[in-house]
Amino acid sequence: MKLKEDINPLLLQVFRSVVWVYSVVTFLPWYFISGAGVNQARAKRVKARSISGLPAGPYRSVNCIDRLVLTLHQGVDTLDKVFEYAASHFPNRDCLGTRELLSEEDEVQPNGKVFKKVILGQYKWLTYEEAFNESRFFGSGLAALGQEPKCNIAIFCETRAEWIVTAQACFMYNFPLVTLYSTLGGPAIAHGLNETEVTHIITSKDLLQSRLKAILLDVPRLRHIIIVDSKPTNWPDMPRGIMVNSMAAVQEIGAKPEHSKVAKVRSLPLPTDIAVIMYTSGSTGIPKGVMISHSNLIAGITGMAERIPNLEYNDTYIGYLPLAHVLELSAELVCISHGCRIGYSSPQTLADQSTKIKKGSKGDTSMLKPTLMAAVPEIMDRIYKNVMTKVDEMSRLQRSLFILAYNYKMEQISKGYGTPLCDRLVFHKVRSLLGGNTRILLSGGAPLSPATQRFMNICFCCPVGQGYGLTETCGAGTISDMWDYSTGRVGAPLVCSDITLKDWEEGGYHSTDKPNPRGEILIGGPNVTMGYYKNHTKNQDDFFVDEKGQRWFCTGDIGEFHPDGCLKIIDRKKDLVKLQAGEYVSLGKVEAVLKNCPLIDNICAYANSDQSYVIGFVVPNQKQLTTLAVQRGVPGSLEELCNSTDMEFEVLRVITEAAIADKLERFEIPKKIRLSAEPWTPETGLVTDAFKLKRKELKTHYQDDIERMYGGK
């Protein structure tokens, strides 16, 4: 996708000449130094092959065609050994970093709302040895408080250094760690804590007060609450004698000689023991706990690490996604296994412009200058839209230059070339948004739109990898090759997993399809988890063991394998609806196409099988909608615009044009829509933490509108 703009022909001429002269002068030496030819070959090479020779697979990475790779370092087969390995190899290197809070203030906005703003100081680091000791003492302290090996323990906490210290303590002492997202609803959290029968929970002061306190009565077995960020204080109003301790106090207990002696005889975990029970919100129903063993996680991080070239102890990773998400947990464990630094952050303090950072002070990326970063598409989309707004505000000349450079670089990238001049002059400023040192960006959790992926690739001057994996497969599945500049694909299988396509008759996907084999994605290998906690029925539906003893998970996603062994996600089984006239509509496909439309921030397509057409709920892009309204002479606030039938008609017209241009079938195009002024966030309960649509909740939320759009009202 190109950025479009009427550009002054003279300027175009000047730009072309400058670039031409520069290219001629530098091309030959540069071609040999940068190895553009090699880059191109590397991008196009075959990355995975079907090991059976059949189009359905199993497909396996060419880097491990004989057998899957299970461990990172010889003999390191449990997570406590991974940390021990790192602590003995990199004892004095920085491990976990947290910024000091210098001051905090409430800032009143012009509209009367109050925002909390913070000024943060330098990163303060724990070395590997210090972090290891802290974990050891914390584990032995928990044991002294009555926590038994192989009995579950819960963590309900924001992403921060103490989270990883806790996790490592639990790995060492073989306490299976139950993780819960902080955005899950009260009943879902109570369900998880009650189902896993935990007696101890690690949390933060904030979450205890705002979320946990209200549900304590529904978790009858809970006895101990450990707060990571509080001085030892009294918590008088706890029900039925629940004990509250600070993490520091528990570590002090654990450091006492009589307790650390117990530590010597701790029961060591086996590779098959459960390391984590991870509750995933899922897009339907109650959350499910996925049982992940030590060997699962180790296979997963082995696969992930293989896709990050030159991963070294001198890399810096910025941790800010929820650690209760398998992508973030695996990424941080990968970093620890290689001795990298992890600096902690949060979505509200990430950049200088972030909402909680006081104007004029530095955001976390500026301070940390990370080299590695993971992101979910939602965050990348936000950056994309921010930068584009900035570009719109530039002077005409600056804007034209930016767009010229952008389109020029896109052309060069697709040929395997770099554009050092444009990088230095034009994209330098955008790149500094993330600190200026990023060498790899990894996106996972949901599909990243090709436009955003290309944009990040061009503006941040580093490869943008896309991964595909689920909690059930321990995050492992595929990650795209860093040299691969194509978009819209999720890459080849990791070295720890095999991927097979299974025919799906109703959806019309077969491994014999031309030009590429298609079908439901099954992921197999040592990374595939032990299944759902206490749900035998669902385990039998979703998991199976093949005749060779390999375990498989049926993902419900539909994929297609390209000739170079890369996978493209094209559909989802659950999202298929049969219309009244018998046509099948894939809601996911319709949404994926329409989301590329700049007017649309988010869309949920909906169809009833007893109706003949598709409808949609749309979150329009505020800026674009306002512009469109001005053009059409429709007055009103954002909410009024969203309620106006005139605007509904206008947006529908734009959507229909985009859909036809992208070759959707006539019956796939929404015939009616409902515009929503409120964006969908995990807090509204309409999308999951990974920003996947929760169709059931959306349906309930828009019930009245559905009836109206289908002519009931």
Q: Which residues bind ligand NAG (CB under 6 A)?
A: 129-130, 133, 190-191, 194, 218, 285, 293, 295, 310, 312, 314-315, 371, 526, 528, 530, 534-535, 537-538, 551, 639-640, 643
DSSP string, 556-579: EEEEEE-TTS-EEEEEEGGGEEE-
Query: Which C-beta is closer to ligand NAG: that of 395 or that of 645?
Result: 645
CB of 295 to ligand NAG, least distance (A): 5
For residue 231 the two structure tokens come to: 């001085």
Q: Rounded to 5, what percent of the chain is helix, strand, coil? A: 40, 20, 35
CB of 88 to ligand NAG, least distance (A): 11
CB of 582 to ligand NAG, least distance (A): 29
Query: Which C-beta is closer to ligand NAG: that of 398 or that of 703?
Result: 703
Query: Which C-beta is closer to ligand NAG: that of 319 or that of 517?
Result: 319
CB of 502 to ligand NAG, least distance (A): 19
CB of 152 to ligand NAG, least distance (A): 12
CB of 288 to ligand NAG, least distance (A): 6
> 98-114 in b/e burial notation, b at 16+ Cβ within 10 A?
bbeeeeeeeeeeeeeee
CB of 193 to ligand NAG, least distance (A): 9
Query: Which C-beta is closer to ligand NAG: that of 111 or that of 537?
Result: 537
Query: Which C-beta is closer to ligand NAG: that of 176 or that of 347?
Result: 176
Query: Which C-beta is closer to ligand NAG: that of 37 or that of 282?
Result: 282
Give the residue closest to ligand NAG by C-beta. Answer: 526
CB of 360 to ligand NAG, least distance (A): 29
492 φ/ψ angles, rounded to the nearest 5 degrees: -95, 160
CB of 541 to ligand NAG, least distance (A): 8
The answer to whether 498 and 350 have CB atoms below 8 angstroms apart is: no
Which residue intervals of 432-552 are DSSP H helices? 450-459, 536-542
Q: How far apart are CA 103 and CA 115, in angstroms?
A: 14
For residue 407 the two structure tokens come to: 């389109």
Cβ neighbours of residue 501 closer than 8 Å, sequence gap 6 or more: 55, 56, 57, 509, 511, 517, 518, 519, 520, 521, 522, 559, 560, 561
Nearest CA among 448, 170, 202 for reference residue 327: 448
Burial label for 73, CB within 10 Å (0-12, 13-18, 19+), is middle
Query: Which C-beta is closer to ligand NAG: that of 175 or that of 532?
Result: 532
The answer to whether 128 and 236 have CB atoms below 8 angstroms apart is: no
The answer to whether 527 and 474 have CB atoms below 8 angstroms apart is: yes
Query: Which C-beta is closer to ligand NAG: that of 608 or that of 643?
Result: 643
Which residue intervals of 65-160 are DSSP H helices? 79-89, 128-144
Query: Which C-beta is closer to ligand NAG: that of 472 or that of 564?
Result: 472
Query: Which C-beta is closer to ligand NAG: that of 142 or that of 496?
Result: 496
CB of 713 to ligand NAG, least distance (A): 11
Q: How far apart are CA 527 and CA 473, in angstroms?
A: 6
Residue type present at position 90: F
Q: Given the DSSP bridges, would you call strands 48-50 and 59-61 parallel, antiparallel or unpaired?
A: antiparallel
Secondary structure of residue 505 in the 3-state scheme? coil
Cα angle 437, 439, 443; round to 5: 120
CB of 301 to ligand NAG, least distance (A): 14
375 φ/ψ angles, rounded to the nearest 5 degrees: -150, 155
CB of 398 to ligand NAG, least distance (A): 31
Query: Which C-beta is closer to ligand NAG: that of 294 or that of 358?
Result: 294
Instruction: Region of 565 please: left (phi>0), alpha (psi -120 to 50) or beta.
Output: left
CB of 307 to ligand NAG, least distance (A): 17
Query: Which C-beta is closer to ligand NAG: that of 314 or that of 700?
Result: 314
The answer to whether 106 and 115 have CB atoms below 8 angstroms apart is: yes
Query: Which C-beta is closer to ligand NAG: that of 411 or that of 704?
Result: 704
> 294-309 in b/e burial notation, b at 16+ Cβ within 10 A?
bbbbbbbbbbbbbbbe
The answer to whether 312 and 341 have CB atoms below 8 angstroms apart is: no
CB of 90 to ligand NAG, least distance (A): 13
Nearest CA among 163, 108, 106 for reference residue 134: 163
Nearest CA among 212, 207, 175 for reference residue 190: 212
Cβ neighbours of residue 540 closer than 8 Å, sequence gap 6 or more: none
Query: Which C-beta is closer to ligand NAG: that of 191 or that of 572?
Result: 191
